[in-house]
Chain A
Amino acid sequence: MNSPRLPLSNIRIADFGWMIAGPLATRVFANFGAEVIRIESGSRIDEIRVVGARPEGIESPNVAGVFNDINTSKLSVTLDLNTDEGLSLAKNVIEISDVVTNNFRGDRMGKWGLDYDNLKKIKPDIIALSMPMMGSDGPHQDYGGNGINIIAGAGISSITGYPDKAPVGTGSLYPDFSGNPNHASIALLAAIRYRNRTGKGQFIDLAQYESTVSLLGTSILEYTANGKLPDRPGNRSQNMAPHNVYRCKGMDRWCAIAVSTEEEWQNLKKGLGELEWMNQPKFATFNQRKANEEELDEGISNWTSDKDAYEVMNLLQSHGVPAGVVQDTEDLLKRDKSFTDTHVIDMPHPEIDSMKVHGETISMSGVTPKVDRAPLLGEHTEYILGDLLGVAESKIDDLYVSGVLK
């Protein structure tokens, strides 16, 4: 089932990942031609097949929105790893794979005899990726959390929101969908390249906690170098004013405006139609605008509040002022043509009409990724056992009956 001309074809991944960050790390491989095999089981269903947004009234492990989005183009084999035969079939899949991935906490893989040392015995040049929240060693290695906990633990919450309010973090499961899977795919790509050149596999230990801390970048360096702790500044910025989102016409509509230079400030004044109040000395320089920021924000809000957010954006952009609508998901999916045309795919699905999924984020001039539907639970069990592992058809039937392929 490999697609020969895509850049990542001829790579096979045995994917023990579950929930979000693990599976998302291998999605890009599947869409760019690799054969990614989800090793899962009906006896302990991956929770992401069930939770979150899903069509109402259908009891099925195949229709949840996030599941379908993060597992495009993959295959699914169901194996009960707590049976000897199931485990041995999983090892057979590993034997013909280049990469084994998981994002369990602690030593779950080790309990199946699938830790790196044992994987090497199955396939000496195997590349193994582990993504436990806290890493594979250290005093907190057994702590298991998910996206919500990582946002808080890795400090994103502490710098997001308002100083007089709780550190609420992001409404999205930010690290699950950005840094952590990205960093994991990067490591895998590099390790595959290295193995191709040297014949050596390796173990990649990606602590999701550390990987998310790295997104705080210089907020941490400022503390380590200058002893200064960042606060929760809302949307304010140290070197831009005005810098906020401003209420527009309609329910919960906002436009962001960010002015960094004197030229942009003059442009903003022109864009707003040379309003008298903006010429007051208290807004004449950056330092004065920063000192009177609350009043400045109020003045701009008064101007934006009876206008359409997109009109505000287009008018200000045409005057050379950085401005953008605070788009909601509905805008992104329907209104924002720059997305919907190229990045949202209406994927046919056998159990429901269709399911909207993201395309690949990156466009390349020479390659078009092939984004296919996420697999139904166990959809490719027969292909993987029969075609890939050469198990006889009658034997497969026996395995079904004995519950090994549950």
Chain B
Amino acid sequence: MVVSDEMESLCPPTQERLLPYTILDLAEGGHNICGRLLGDMGAEVIKIEPPGGSQTRLRGPFTKNSDGKPRSLYWASYNSNKKGISLLLDTDEGRQIFLKLVNKSDAILESFQPGYLDSLNIGFETLAKINPQLVHTSMTPFGSTGPYAGFISTDLITSSMGGMPFVSGDEDRPPVRISFPQAELVAGSQAFGATVAALRHSRNSKTGQHVDVSEQIAVMWTLMNATPFPQLHGTDVTRAGAFRKRGPIDARHVFRCADGYVSMNAQAKTLDGFIRWMSEEIEIEKEILGFNIDKWNLKPDSDPNGKEASEFKKVEKAIESFLSIKTKMEIFERALSAGLLVAPCNTVEDIRKSPQLEARSFWIDVYHPEFGKDITHLGPYMKMSETPLKVYSPSPSVGSHNEEIFKSLGIGKSEIEALRKRGII
């Protein structure tokens, strides 16, 4: 356990930071991941919330704090490594303070409806006049322009428009999305990359710019294995559930096992490995033993009921019944030792208990003052030898850094108190 005061002091000095930038973060929901990633890499990220608190604090799941009040884990996980201030943007006074902050910052991140900041007269054009090197990153469901820019959306809507559910799920059921919302997160992580590239460009050319990130396009990118099909084969990739298209046939990739499911990539070496494993433990038919692995990868125009296809199906059936009495762990251990492309369909519990993640110290317990207890965080998704990513500080409470930040703008204590009384901060 690390206490938050100590964590502040763990934050590396500027010279050793990966990204020595100051970022203003007005984003909501999953777009918060963009600022979180920048914070993980040592940028000073200032989260700006309205005085009543960000909408994201209302997003579940929740856990009870030490007083029994529900607090958002969603907020906590995507807002670590940020400082928090409160500021009412739809007042003149609030905007004046915001513009002072913009003047001292390298980038702003936001996910308002296109046109909203313009309507407050603090859109990109205005900000660029104050700080010509500013990078202004917008994250929106459909981008800032085009016929859908004004649409209202949720993860299900944006994912659907991006094409992902159409190819996901069972053949005999409606299209389905990944149940933990992904569109905002994928857009947020792309926004991170674009923001860093734009910051680099800004340093080199002394000009900032508007970076316009669309969730729909971010989602479409996740389909790159499907998008070449209409042009090259005149067909669409459709939902195939536990199967995937292999030439003219559907090859099973999800198999039931004794305690769950496993997912297999039916390529030559893996099929061969399964035949070998079966032959070590059970009697198998000669025809399966003699299956010509080199011919398994059938051409799209070959006969789906032909000899090779039916031989393949026979091998598949044998594997199916062989795996049905093995456990996920037995199958995974064989995959490890024999180099087979098969993995258990792990549950969240399996993942939490993974010896690999344990050995690589993936989980981090962070003390959150707002919760009054430790929260187990997912660790950094990469290890960097020279500049390891860390959780330096827990997610802020509303306005927890008001004094520090406003003082740095030359706003005195009594003035801060006055602003607070008027509900500006």
Do A and B bind? Answer: yes
Which of A159, A161, A214 is close to B381, meaning CB atoms less than 8 Å apart? Answer: A214
Q: Provide the residues of chain B in CB contact with A224, threshold 8 Å.
A: 352, 363, 375-376
B39 on the interface (CB 8 Å rule)? no
Taken residue by residue from 197 to 219, chain B's Cβ proximity to chain A (1 for < 8 Å, 0 otherwise) reads as: 11011001101111111101110
Q: Cα distance A198–B176 when bound, in Å?
A: 47
Is there contact, CB below 8 Å, between B387 and A168?
Answer: no
Which of B142, B170, B193, B343 is close to A182, meaning CB atoms less than 8 Å apart? Answer: B193
Is there contact, CB below 8 Å, between A320 and B152?
Answer: yes
Is there contact, CB below 8 Å, between A356 and B227?
Answer: yes
Which of A165, A225, A332 is close to B227, meaning CB atoms less than 8 Å apart? Answer: A332
Binds A, one of B2-10, B112-120, B260-268: B260-268
Minimum CB–CB distance from A168 to chain B (whole Å) comes to 5
Interface of A is mostly: mixed
Taken residue by residue from 127 to 156, chain A's Cβ proximity to chain B (1 for < 8 Å, 0 otherwise) reads as: 000000011011111111111111111111
Q: Cα distance A183–B211 when bound, in Å?
A: 18
Closest to A105 in B: B339
Is there contact, CB below 8 Å, between B19 and A193?
Answer: yes
Given known pairs A160-B176, A189-B200, A218-B74, the reply for A326 and B165 (CB within 8 Å) is yes
Q: Provide the residues of chain A in CB contact with B231, threshold 8 Å.
A: 65, 333, 355-356
B50 on the interface (CB 8 Å rule)? no
Taken residue by residue from 214 to 251, chain A's Cβ proximity to chain B (1 for < 8 Å, 0 otherwise) reads as: 11111111111110111011110111100111010000
Binds A, one of B81-89, B143-151, B287-295, B403-411: B143-151
Q: Cα distance A367–B20 when bound, in Å?
A: 23
Q: Provide the residues of chain A in CB contact with B318, threshold 8 Å.
A: none
Q: Provide the residues of chain A in CB contact with B363, threshold 8 Å.
A: 224
Is there contact, CB below 8 Å, between A207 and B345?
Answer: no
A381 on the interface (CB 8 Å rule)? no
Is there contact, CB below 8 Å, between B261 and A166?
Answer: yes
For chain B, residues 361 to 386, give those with C-beta under 8 angstroms from any C-beta of chain A. Answer: 362-363, 375-379, 381-386
Q: Provide the residues of chain B in CB contact with A162, threshold 8 Å.
A: 169-170, 173, 176
Is there contact, CB below 8 Å, between A237 and B156?
Answer: yes
B174 on the interface (CB 8 Å rule)? yes
Q: Provide the residues of chain B in CB contact with A279, threshold 8 Å.
A: none
Q: Provide the residues of chain B in CB contact with A275, threshold 8 Å.
A: none
Binds B, one of A35-43, A79-87, A252-260, A281-289: A252-260
Q: Cα distance A142–B9 when bound, in Å?
A: 38
Which of B124, B163, B191, B362 is close to A327, meaning CB atoms less than 8 Å apart? Answer: B163
Number of A residues near B (Cβ < 8 Å) is 150
Closest to B365 in A: A224
Minimum CB–CB distance from A122 to chain B (whole Å) comes to 17
Given known pairs A166-B254, A202-B385, A256-B160, the reply for A52 and B228 (CB within 8 Å) is yes
Which of A152, A183, A200 is close to B262, meaning CB atoms less than 8 Å apart? Answer: A152
Given known pairs A177-B223, A238-B60, A361-B190, the reply for A187 and B382 (CB within 8 Å) is yes
Q: Provide the residues of chain B in CB contact with A147, threshold 8 Å.
A: 225
Q: Cα distance A241–B162 when bound, in Å?
A: 21
Q: Provide the residues of chain B in CB contact with A143, threshold 8 Å.
A: 332, 335-336
Is there contact, CB below 8 Å, between A252 and B168?
Answer: no
A276 on the interface (CB 8 Å rule)? no
A206 on the interface (CB 8 Å rule)? yes
Which of A66, A186, A209, A252 is close to B189, meaning CB atoms less than 8 Å apart? Answer: A186
Is there contact, CB below 8 Å, between A168 and B170?
Answer: yes
- Most chain A CB atoms below 10 A, which of B20, B178, B230: B178
Closest to B186 in A: A178
Q: Cα distance A239–B29 when bound, in Å?
A: 14
Which of B160, B164, B375 is close to A225, meaning CB atoms less than 8 Å apart? Answer: B375
Q: Cα distance A108–B124 when bound, in Å?
A: 48
For chain B, residues 104 to 137, give those with C-beta under 8 angstroms from any C-beta of chain A. Answer: 124
Is there contact, CB below 8 Å, between A172 and B168?
Answer: yes
B63 on the interface (CB 8 Å rule)? yes
Interface residues of B, Cβ cutoff 8 Å to A: 15-20, 30, 37, 41, 60-61, 63, 73-74, 76-78, 124, 142-143, 146-148, 151-170, 173-180, 182, 185-186, 189-194, 196-198, 200-201, 204-205, 207-214, 216-218, 220-233, 236-242, 244, 253-254, 256, 261-265, 300-301, 332, 335-336, 339, 341-352, 355-357, 359-360, 362-363, 375-379, 381-387
Can you name 12 A-B pairs with beta carbons within 8 Å? A155-B348, A186-B192, A190-B41, A198-B16, A204-B382, A223-B349, A245-B160, A256-B156, A256-B159, A328-B167, A329-B237, A366-B207
Interface residues of A, Cβ cutoff 8 Å to B: 7-8, 20, 24, 28, 32, 52-56, 65-66, 68-70, 116, 134-135, 137-162, 165-174, 176-179, 182-187, 189-191, 193-194, 197-198, 200-207, 209-211, 213-226, 228-230, 232-235, 237-240, 243-245, 247, 252, 254-258, 260, 317, 320-334, 336-339, 343, 355-356, 358, 361-367
Q: A207-B382, A214-B381, A234-B176 are in contact. List 15 more A-B contacts (CB 8 A).
A: A135-B360, A168-B169, A170-B164, A172-B168, A194-B18, A217-B77, A219-B348, A235-B156, A254-B160, A257-B157, A327-B161, A328-B238, A330-B230, A356-B227, A366-B208
The 3 closest A-B pairs by CB, nearest first: A65-B228, A171-B167, A152-B263
